Amino acid sequence: MEKLWKEGFFGKGNLSRSEPTWFWRNSNNDNGKGKRKEKQKLAAEQITEQRRIVRKRNKKGRVNQVQNMSKVQQITKEEVQEKEQDEEQTIEQTLTQEEENVLLEDIETLMLTTQEAFFLCYGLGILDIYDLQDNLLSAEESWKSFQITSSGFIIRYIVYHYFRSLGWVVRCGMKFGVDYVLYEKGPVFKHAEYAVIILPIHTSQNFDNSQVDVDFRNNCMTSWSWMMNLNRVCVQVKKSLVLCYVIIPSTTTYLTITECIKEYKVRHVLVKRCIPSKLK
C-alpha cells in the first residue's frame, strides 16, 4: 500500500483524504503513552482539524463578545490564556486515559479505481486482480469484467493510460466536477495544474452497444454556457480546463486491449477564459 502511493500516487486511503495516513495519525511515538514530538510533520487531516478548532474558537469568542458588550468586565490576557490551557489539558488527559491501554492496529486499506487497477495490472504488470470467488483474473478477463461493472470504462481508461504514458500523475477529479486532474509530480508537491473533462466522439452510428457505453456523457450539455461554467469553476481552484476528445473507431467489435489502445484516438484542447483587459 505504501509503495503504490509513494512510487506513483495510486489509490486513496479509505480512512484518509488521499494519502493513507490513518495509522500514523492515530499512533503515538512513545508506544501510545507519550505525546507527539512538537516538530513532527502533521498530516493533511491534522492540519485541517487544527484550522477548524481555531476557527470555532474565534467564532465562539466573537459571540461571547457580542453578548457581553453591555457588561463591564476586566479580564487580563493571562487569565484568558490560563483558562484555555486548563481546558486543553483536561481534554488531553481524558483522551490519554481512554487510549492508554489500546493496541492500535492498521485497518486502513488502499482503494483503487478500475482505471488505476487495470493500469497497474496491464500497463505495469505489478498487480494481480481477483474476482469475488478469489479466482485470479487475466488481463483480458479483467478488461471484460470492468466493462460490465464500470460505466464508460474503456473511454476513461484510454484517457488515463494516455496521460500516464506522458508522465502525468492522474487522479480522480470528482471534487472539481471533472473526470481527472493532472499533477506534474504528485499531490504532495503542489496542486494539480490541469482539470480534464472527457468528451467521446463516435465516428460511426453503427456501433455495438455491448462493446462501447454509448450513454457515456450523452446527457451532458456540451454548449458554450456549459463550457464557461465549468471553466469558471476550474479558474476558482487555480486549474486550467482541458477538453479531452476520445475518437471512438467505427468498428469496436472484438477489439482486444492492444487494439483498443491503438485504434482509439485522443485529442485535447486547453481552454482559457478570455479577459480583454489582460490582452492589451
Residues 6 or more apart whose Cβ sits within 8 Å of residue 168? 182, 183, 184
CB burial string 198-212: b at 16+ within 10 A, e below: bbbebeeeebeeebb
Q: How many CA atoms lie within 13 A of 173 on its CB side?
A: 28
Angle of CA points 177, 182, 186, to nearest 5°:
120
The one-letter amino acid code at 12 reads K
Q: To which residue does cell 479558474 refer?
A: 235
Catalytically annotated residue among 157, 160, 194, 239: 239
**Whether residue 183 lies in the annotated active site:** yes
Quick one: cell of 175?
Answer: 471534487
Query: Using an 8 Å Cβ cutoff, are 240 and 272 in contact?
Result: yes
**Whether residue 202 lies in the annotated active site:** no
Catalytically annotated residue among 180, 183, 194, 264: 183
Closest CA to 106 of 1, 23, 163: 23
Secondary structure class of 196 (helix, strand, coil):
strand
CA 77 vs CA 45, 81, 84, 92: distances in Å: 31, 6, 11, 23
Within 150-267, residue ranges assigned H as helices are 153-165, 224-236, 257-263
Catalytically annotated residue among 191, 254, 262, 278: 191
Query: Using an 8 Å Cβ cutoff, are 163 and 170 in contact?
Result: yes
Residues identified as active-site: 183, 191, 239
